[in-house]
Amino acid sequence: MIDRDGFRPNVGIILSNAERRLFWGRRVGQNAWQFPQGGIKTDESPLEAMYRELEEEVGLRPRQVTVLGSTRGWLRYRLPRRYIRRHCGPICIGQKQVWYMLRVDCAEGDFCLDRSEKPEFDAWRWVRYWYPLREVVYFKRRVYEQALQELAPLLYPEGAPPAAEPDAGAPPQQRREAHRAGYLRRR
C-alpha cells in the first residue's frame, strides 16, 4: 500500500530494556543495523502492525512488552534515487512511519530472530540511546533523530538522555572505550 504522495505506511519499533538501552538489530547477511520496522497492511491499524512486526522480526508477543508511547504523527524519509523501483507501480519514493517506544518485560532469551520464514535480523545488541544516529544508513538518520527526540521523555522523564558517544574527533582510546561500553553483543 502506497499513499498518493508515494510513501509507504510503516511502523518503527524502539525497544528499551531496564537500563534504558535500545535494541539494535543487524539485517540478515549485511553489515547494516537498524531498529525493527515494517509495513502496515490495509486491514490493520499502526498498533496492530507494530505488534505483528514485533513478533515477526524479534519474536516477542504483546504480553512481553509495554507500549510507552508513540510519535504524534507520521515521520517521513525518502529513498535515494537508486533504491526507487521504477519498473513497478505505484512508485514508492519513501516511507511514512509511526514510531513506538516499548519497554521489554521479558528475558533476553525470549527474543527469537527467526520466528518468521524470512528473518530480518541475524544478530542484535543493546546500545546507548543516541548510538543509532551515527550507525543507521544515512537516508534514515533524520527520521531516527526525530523519533528519538520526540520519544526521549518516555525513557528520560527527568531530562535529556546522556550525550552521544564521543565523536570521531575524540582520542582513539576514548572512542574504543566508548565503543566497548556502548553495547552488549548478542548471538
Q: Domains for the chain: give ranges and CATH numbers.
A: 7-154 (3.90.79.10)
Taking CB atoms within 8 Å and a gap of at least 24, the contacts of 156-162 are: 156/20, 156/129, 161/20, 161/129, 161/130, 162/128, 162/129, 162/130
174: pLDDT strictly greater than 60: no
Q: Which residues contact 67 (CB under 8 A, 6 or more apart)?
A: 47, 50, 100, 101, 102
pLDDT of residue 173: 46
pLDDT of residue 17: 98
Q: Residue 71: how many CA atoms within 13 Å on its side-chain side?
A: 23
Top-confidence residue, 177 or 23: 23
pLDDT of residue 92: 74
pLDDT of residue 3: 76
Q: Residue 144: how many CA atoms within 13 Å on its side-chain side?
A: 21
127-156 pLDDT, tens digit per residue, is 999 999 999 999 999 999 999 999 999 999
- Provide the percentage of residues in the chain whose pLDDT is more than 90: 68
Average pLDDT in the chain: 86
31-87 pLDDT, tens digit per residue, is 999 999 999 999 999 999 999 999 999 999 999 999 999 999 999 988 877 666 666
pLDDT of residue 122: 97
26: pLDDT strictly greater than 60: yes
pTM: 0.84
